[in-house]
Amino acid sequence: SPRSFQPNGTSKEALQCEIEELKQKNLALDQEIAQLLSEGYSLEELEKHISLLHEYNEIKDAGQMLLGKLAVIRGVTTKQLYPEYDLELSD
């Protein structure tokens, strides 16, 4: 049956709705890119910025993992380690 080809029994209507949502997100992103380009940003600059944000997030995740492991070893919460390393909770 056609239904057997759909992942997890997802209905055709649900898939169509998801496709429409993705099209809307794509349009919104295109508009945001156009706005940034009109403000004088270049695509290369935007791509570099995105790349740097990904790198920052990976480094931050690694730091959080290390803080978590250290907290477990010391038997404290991660939050309790922040002052010791001059970190802000918003970091």
Task: For residue range 40-83, list pLDDT tens digits in order.
Answer: 988 888 889 899 999 999 999 999 999 999 999 999 999 999 99
Same domain, 17 and 56: no
Residue 9 above 70 pLDDT? no
Model confidence at 8, pLDDT cuts 50, 70, 90, reads low
pLDDT at res. 91: 62
Q: Which residue has the higher pLDDT, 14 or 9?
A: 14
- Taking the alpha carbons of 35, 37, 39, 45 in that order, is the dihedral positive or negative? positive
Same domain, 54 and 23: no
Q: Is the Cβ–Cβ distance between 47 and 33 less than 8 Å?
A: no
Q: What is the count of structural domains for the chain?
A: 2
Same domain, 54 and 19: no
CA distances from 56 to 60, 65, 87 (A): 6, 14, 16
CA distances from 88 to 29, 64, 66, 70, 77 (A): 32, 13, 16, 17, 14
pTM of the model: 0.54
Same domain, 37 and 56: no
Domain of residue 59 covers 42-90
Q: Report which DSSP code applies to 4.
A: G
Is 6 part of a structural domain of the chain? no
